[in-house]
Amino acid sequence: MSQTNIAVNLILKKLAETTGKAKIKVRKASEVLLSPLDTELSKTPYEVVYKEDRVGLKYYKPSEVKHKYPLLIVYALINRETMLDLQPGRSVVQTFLDSGLEVYMVDWGYPTRKDKYVTIDDHVNGYMDNIVDFIRKKHGLPQINLMGICMGGAFCVMYSALHPEKIKNLVTTVTPTNFDTDKGLLHVWMKYTDAFLMGESYGNMPGDLMNLGFLLLNPARLILDKYVGFFENMDDKDFVENFIRMEKWIFDSPDVPAATFHQFVTDCYRKNLLIQNKLELNGRRVDLKNITMPLLNFYGQYDHLVPPEACELLTKAVGSKDTEDICLKTGHIGIYVSSKCQREFGPKIIKWLKEREGEPKTDKSPETSRTPSGSKIRRETVKYVSPKKIIGKESKPASPDLKKAK
Amino acid sequence: MDQDQKKETAIGSLFAQWTKSQADLWEDMIRMQFGMSDASEKSRKNPLHQTQKAYESGSKILGALISTLSEPENLESALKGMDSLPEFMMHITQQAYEGYLEFQKKIVEIAAKIGQHTEAYKFEGIDQNIFKVWRDIYEKEFRQYLNVPQLGLNRFHQERIARLIDTLNIFQASLNEFIYMFYIPIEKSGAVMQEKIEQLAEKGEIHDNFKEYYNMWIKTLEGHYMTLLKSPEYAEVMNNTINALVQYREAKQEVLYDILKEFPIPTNKDMDELYNDLYILKKKVSDLSRKLEESRGV
């Protein structure tokens, strides 16, 4: 047996130093945790201008309106729309308002047992259609701009295909439309398990159960390492405030109506009907060729929930000639909350919408190329980072934009 | 006639005499208790007399039964019937014991494998036998007793309770398997770390910073989880757990509905029916409003 060479004295010395540092850290941490903390989400003022059942419509008014068409944002039924207005300096909504864009945002509320029979059709052709009509009427406009996030993006795609005359421009962000991929674990699990049965068993699909499922997507980082990071940095007030804000958002998960969850799992994840133009809502076929308005499609290169393979087919499937794919080097939530994406994501949408209002361009357009189908695709010119590094970076506990499944 | 036959005849005769004395005793008891009452028409309507009659009738049936038993051939048949009870009990015990032995045997087999090399990042053919064996034994040996057809007025309630017990057992078995599977990456990454530390020690490159080891371990653990979570084995176990949970919840709700029926509160079942009606009505009203607006040209 070979003789090992372990410097025990060095290890003990280091241990003594660490213990000393830990003592100081704990004292500082207790001061931080016991002091008043600013962890409030969604601070930008808004007004609820429309209400139907549990669904509300938030209206954010800019100090000066500079855009002709207002923007309606439709968030997913999973987690809450507060993510777009997480904190000052990290708010997509604030970026839009600063540019003079009027923003409306759907607040799906908290479904109760009463909502268990509510289907995708009720969301798309019911609540969404009523909201779009309300905004059109309020502004005296035939069309408005529409932006969707994740599952909300899929709803926007369905809506735009069924009511193209009401939509001026469509922006989809991390929106799954092609479900026939095994790249994301969520796609695998939804395909090979009967998860939708739980929705029926519990009345609705419980938000807490979904959160548990999302944590299980990367247990080492999301259940363990994240909190180790918190303990390491809990003497830093800014870090603690950002961390708690993110925790509040992550675990604020409304239940998903059972009928909607069932339909989304079976028709989308299992049968992949949407991208094949075979999905039907209340007997009406959703034909993506009807989407003839300009389409801007964002997705994250390292998104483990809605991988690029689930997003990038959309621009080729629609009827519009004016389409653009933008793949950012980030994950599912990073698009909205990471500092780098904050500088690119919001401003790009503003510029893209402005260009399609018929007004003169204000700055140089980004580096783009056209795909054979006619759609433009823009890749970031940021230095390439390997996926492994990205996983580590995204899950880095010190960062408040910790990735969480949605 | 051999000795054994003589012995049997003697026992039979003794039993016949004993049964006769029992029948006589019951008759005397009845007569003693009600002997004072007269037999007039008036007294026949008396409740005491009616009770006496019922007792007499009962004692006669009892006497007849006992007398029947005193006949050697009837006695033999009755005794044979009684013989089948311990046989039945024996059968149940034997099956349960065999199941237990089988289970124990598998535990010993698995215990013998402890300490064998665990291969990193390999999740095919994970040894979850212990859970499969328990489930198999439960399904083959024990479950059948919960599925015995129930009889009588309470048969539906009994069936629901038996189903609740059954689904709970299956759910617990599935959950244990799921939890065990989730523990495997921790075990595997521990083994990998041990190897890595040994290698570092051999090279004399041991870090003095604990965080270095933690980072190494969490990265290994993450890698193991990523491999496990993508595996078809994991999807299968997860699916089994989901299905078992759903069935258990369903069975539990059925029993709860039975209990709650006695209280003046609506159950989820009642509310769901109501919500469904409300949903359909709202949809109809909304459609009609839309049609009305369209016809008005709004």
pLDDT tens-digit map of A348-381: 999 999 999 864 333 333 333 334 344 455 544 3
- Interchain proximity B249–A116, CB inside 8 Å: no
Does residue B285 sit within a domain?
A: no
Q: Which residue numbers of A are catalytic?
A: 150
Question: Which tokens hold the place of A171?
Answer: 């922006």
- Interchain proximity B229–A220, CB inside 8 Å: no
- Interchain proximity A4–B275, CB inside 8 Å: no
B38 plus B135 within the same structural domain? no
pLDDT more than 70, % of chain A = 85
Q: Which residues of A touch B249 (CB under 8 A)?
A: 201-202
C-alpha dist (Å) from residue A6 to A12, A208, B190, B207: 11, 47, 20, 9
Does residue B26 sit within a domain?
A: yes
Q: Which residues of B touch A202 (CB under 8 A)?
A: 249
Last residue of a domain, one of B48, B70, B92: B70
Do residues A193 and B194 touch, judged by C-beta distance below 8 A?
Answer: no
B64 plus B134 within the same structural domain? no
B126 plus B27 within the same structural domain? no
This model of the complex carries an ipTM of: 0.78
**Helical H runs in chain B?**
3-34, 41-45, 47-70, 72-113, 129-137, 143-146, 155-203, 210-230, 232-260, 268-296
Contact partners, residue A130, CB within 8 Å, separation at least 6:
A50, A52
- Interchain proximity B242–A197, CB inside 8 Å: yes
Q: Which residues of B touch A117 (CB under 8 A)?
A: 275-276, 279
Domain borders along chain A are 47-188+258-392
Q: What is the pLDDT of residues B110-150, one digit of tens each?
A: 555 544 545 555 555 555 667 777 777 888 778 888 888 88
Does residue B298 sit within a domain?
A: no
Does residue B275 sit within a domain?
A: no
Q: Which residues of B touch A116 (CB under 8 A)?
A: 272, 275
- Between CA B161 and CA B158 the distance in angstroms is 5
Q: Which residues pair with A147 in a beta bridge?
A: A73, A171
Do residues A294 and A169 touch, judged by C-beta distance below 8 A?
Answer: yes
* CATH assignment, A47-188+258-392: 3.40.50.1820
Mean pLDDT along residues B21-44? 62
Does residue B99 sit within a domain?
A: no
- Between CA A132 and CA A159 the distance in angstroms is 10
Last residue of a domain, one of B35, B70, B105: B70
pLDDT more than 90, % of chain B = 31
DSSP string, B9-44: HHHHHHHHHHHHHHHHHHHHHHHHHHTTS---HHHH
B243 plus B147 within the same structural domain? yes
- Interchain proximity B210–A219, CB inside 8 Å: no
Q: What is the pLDDT of residue A283?
A: 94
Mean pLDDT along residues A191-198? 89
- Whether the CB of A220 is below 8 Å from some CB of chain B: the reply is yes
- Between CA A124 and CA A116 the distance in angstroms is 16
Confidence of residue A1 (pLDDT cuts 50, 70, 90): very low
- Interchain proximity A4–B222, CB inside 8 Å: no
Nearest to B25 by CA among B69, B53, B67, B73: B67
Domain that holds residue B41: 3-70
When divided into structural domains, chain B yields a total of 2
pLDDT reading at B42 higher than 80: no
Q: Of A144-158, A207-221, A225-239, B13-27, which gets the smallest average pLDDT? A: B13-27
CA B216 to chain centre: 46
Last residue of a domain, one of B70, B93, B128: B70
B127 plus B53 within the same structural domain? no
Chain B nearest C-alpha distance from A99 (Å)? 34
Of all residues in chain B, the one with the smallest CA distance to A189 is B235
B124 plus B259 within the same structural domain? yes
CA B138 to chain centre: 9
Q: In chain B, positions 104-133, which contact chain A (CB-CB < 8 Å)?
A: none
